[in-house]
Each structure stands twice: as structure tokens, then as C-alpha cells.
Amino acid sequence: MSNSRRLFLKGACVAAVGASGFTLVRAKEAGKNTSKPVYKYALVHDETKCIGCDACSIACREVNQVPEGVSRLEIKREGPFGEYPNQYFRFTRHSCQQCESTPCVDVCPTGAAYKDPDTGIVSVDEWKCVGCQYCIAACPYQIRFINPITKAADKCDFCKDTRLKEGKKPACVSACPTKALTFGDITDPDSQIVKVLKSAPSYRSKLDLGTRPKVFRIASQGGEVKL
Ligand code: SF4
Ligand code: SF4
Ligand code: SF4
């Protein structure tokens, strides 16, 4: 692993702008000192468009070199629901929720788990990680794991090292054949992700915990009442 990866996002400005138009860090105004993220990256999974094909998780594994036996992204299938011939499945995304309030970061004793102040992306510095697994225990979404190759904690980081720094969208987003995934900056009112979020009601997982996740979901079916 090169030093350039470790130092990623630490520079004053990453000017990479690819065909998809993503930049990691907007140029800061000279002398301006702000602790707020310059961008706030988020993801929408439109479950009404998801067909459970797993192209996203396969692309994630390949691009991020995720070993067999562990995964940064899974599509969970529930169902079938309803009666024939109107049966349907529900597909939900299981990955890091990119929380604003981060229990995983709070418990890390070495600073290996961190949230980047410029992008809001929660990530792991594998060189600082001692494998104590505190973050794994603290994550209420149970999406962290110890990478058997690096021996460090691992999880989805929106492909920040493997795709975003080249100006590309996360691998899952590019691979999805139905455009069920939208990625972007939710602080930009003109971004595609904000338009998608305004176009349909969405929900987030375990909001009551106060983690303020930045993975939004558009529900495939209406809610149900369970007694
Ligand atoms: S989903 Fe878990 S690992 Fe991801 S930011 Fe939230 S608490 Fe941390
Ligand atoms: S496993 Fe690594 S990232 Fe997680 S709390 Fe321990 S040192 Fe921090
Ligand atoms: S690639 Fe798209 S349609 Fe296929 S499982 Fe993933 S989100 Fe769903």
C-alpha cells in the first residue's frame, strides 16, 4: 500500500474531475478555516428499481479487492410477498451507512476509524488499525469486518481510494444496470441525488439511534402494520 493512499484527502485540493464530474475536495478559500465538510457525500438505493442482480456487490468486490468470505456490500433478498401471480421480492442494501454521528469512530483508540472533514466519508486508516474490533462492536449496522488480508477493520468507503479520486462514481453505482443507485453531494441543491430525494419519499435505517445515516432508501413497497 503506497503512502499516496494514506495521505489521500489530506492535501489542500484534489483537482481530479472525471467524466462523471466528481471531485473529492472543493478548493478551499485561502485562509478560511472551517471544520464543516466541504462536501457531504451520500447514496440513495431506490428499492423500486432494484432487481437483486448483485452487479453492485460483484463490482465492489473486484474494484476494492475484497477477499472472499467478507463483503463491503450485500443485497439482502426478502420474500416472496403476496399471492401468485402478484408476488414480489424486496431487495435491501447492507453496507456502511456513512453516519454523520459515528459510534465506530468514537470508540477507536488509535484514530484509525475516522470521518473525513472535507467529504464526510467515514473510513479506516489500515496503517493505524490494531484490529481491536471495538468499532465492529460499536457499529449498530453490523457492517464492519476484519479484512483477512490486511488484518485491519474494513467496510464501504464509497470507493474513495479506488474510484472517487479518479473522478469516478463508486463502483456499485456505475455497475447498476437499472440506475437504482444515485451518489452525490447532498449539500448541493442542484445535484442528482438531491433531485432523486425530492422526487420520492425515502427512509433511513435505525434513525432512532441518532446516527444520522447518509444512505437513503426509496421503499419498494408500502409499509405494513405488524401487531
Ligand atoms: S454504519 Fe457503522 S461503520 Fe458505517 S459510519 Fe455508521 S457506525 Fe460507522
Ligand atoms: S479495529 Fe481498528 S479501526 Fe476498529 S476500533 Fe480497533 S483500531 Fe480502530
Ligand atoms: S446492481 Fe442495482 S439492481 Fe442490481 S442488486 Fe445492485 S442496486 Fe440492485
User: Best substitution site from 48, 53, 182, 215 to test ligand 3's pocket, by max atoms within 8 Å of Cβ?
Assistant: 53
Give the DSSP H or E segment for 58: helix 55-63
pLDDT attached to residue 23: 62
Average pLDDT across the chain, whole number: 86
State the CATH number of the domain containing residue 192: 3.30.70.20
Domain that holds residue 57: 3-23+36-100+158-218
CB distance 120 to 40 below 8 Å: yes
Grouping H, G, I as helix, E, B as strand and the rest as coil, residue 54 is coil
- State if residue 134 touches ligand 2 by the CB under 6 angstroms criterion: yes
pLDDT tens digits along 172-190: 999 999 999 999 999 999 9
How many structural domains are present in the chain? 1
Task: Tell me whether residue 109 is in a domain.
Answer: no
pLDDT tens digits along 183-215: 999 999 999 999 999 999 999 999 999 999 999
Alpha-helical segments (H) within 108-226: 134-138, 171-175, 192-199
Residue whose Cα lies nearest atom 1 of ligand 3: it is 176
pLDDT tens digits along 68-122: 999 999 999 998 888 888 888 899 999 999 999 999 999 999 999 999 999 999 9
Q: Which atom of ligand 3 is nearest to the CA of 181?
A: 7
What is the gyration radius of the CA atoms in the chain, in angstroms?
Answer: 18
- State if residue 175 touches ligand 3 by the CB under 6 angstroms criterion: yes
Give the DSSP H or E segment for 75: strand 74-81
The alpha carbon of 53 and the centre of ligand 3 are apart by a number of angstroms equal to 5
Q: Which atom of ligand 1 is nearest to the CA of 155?
A: 3
Which residues does residue 184 pair with via DSSP β-bridges, in sequence order? 42
Task: Tell me whether residue 116 is in a domain.
Answer: no
pLDDT attached to residue 187: 95
User: Best substitution site from 50, 78, 172, 196 to test ligand 3's pocket, by max atoms within 8 Å of Cβ?
Assistant: 50
User: What is the phi/psi pair of residue 172, to 5°?
Assistant: -60, -40
